[in-house]
Amino acid sequence: MAAGSALGSPSCQLVLKATGAIEKVYCVDAGAVLLKMFVLKYWDERSGMKLDPTAGHFFMYLAHQEHRYLLSNGVYVREAVWVLSRGRCDDGSVDPPAVYYAISFTNDTDEEQSMATYAFAELPKDFKDDLAVQYDAKLRALVAYSKNEPNLARTEELKKNYRACPRAEEALATTREHYRESLGRAVVFTPNDVINRGCMWAKANIERVLLKSSPTGWGSRTVRRSRPSVSGAIRHGFAPAPITSVPTSRGRACSSLRSAKKTTA
């Protein structure tokens, strides 16, 4: 793609690169960029050779983005990225800043494939103080926080929010359901399908940048009395018809917010 997408929620803003990798994650409460470049790389475990992506496509949806491509060993990769956004409750609370990157593999070759997946991340360089990074075995995650500015990341609060976040399937289903409910309150229909899609994209972009700390407030959004039902969203499947898809001839492997893991396809 010529440029990456921007996704968001009332507490978090995410910017993607044209390759599909994460460029930065901005936290509204902290008022700072907490994570910069994040990318995945794949290697063949038996030969030790790096596996590069070949032809693929980007699919842009209202609530998330997907990148589907074929690796040089014949394994098909499907990567989906989104920001958890399920609306606000009657007490004004919203979801914590959480970015998901879900990855699935399909092996259509006649041979068993053994792959290693490595994650590479870059922490922000604009902090004025030292950063501390530690691996939490119980969470199976890397925890980074500021030594001189503990308010930027309260470790115990971070762990609490991490545990409270739903699993990937539920998070995507409820986020998509929130966008359906929010954008479906008023729909513009014209004889031109391109205009219809453009109006829907404009509404989605407004929803993505509607922050809880905005000086203009929440606008006329309806208060959600409880979290949306998951079952009604899941039965629609993993991905509805995309708004648009963009082919890509070659690109780097995309990113994940999970720690490096080993996968056998």
Tens of pLDDT along the chain (265 residues) come to 677 788 988 888 899 998 889 999 988 877 778 888 899 899 999 888 999 998 889 998 888 999 999 999 999 999 999 999 988 777 778 888 889 999 999 998 899 999 999 888 887 765 566 777 888 888 888 787 777 776 666 667 777 778 888 999 999 999 999 988 888 888 888 999 899 888 888 888 888 877 765 555 554 333 444 443 333 232 223 333 344 444 544 433 333 333 333 444 3
Residue 98 is assigned to a structural domain of this protein: yes
Residue 139 is assigned to a structural domain of this protein: yes
Residue 180 is assigned to a structural domain of this protein: yes
Q: How many CB atoms lie within 10 A of CB 126?
A: 7
Residue 72 is assigned to a structural domain of this protein: yes
Residue 24 is assigned to a structural domain of this protein: yes
What is residue 151's predicted lDDT score, i.e. its pLDDT? 63
Residue 51 is assigned to a structural domain of this protein: yes
What is residue 249's predicted lDDT score, i.e. its pLDDT? 42
What is residue 153's predicted lDDT score, i.e. its pLDDT? 60
**Which residues form the domain of 255?**
6-264
Residue 95 is assigned to a structural domain of this protein: yes
Residue 1 is assigned to a structural domain of this protein: no
What is residue 202's predicted lDDT score, i.e. its pLDDT? 86
| Number of domains present in the structure of the chain | 1
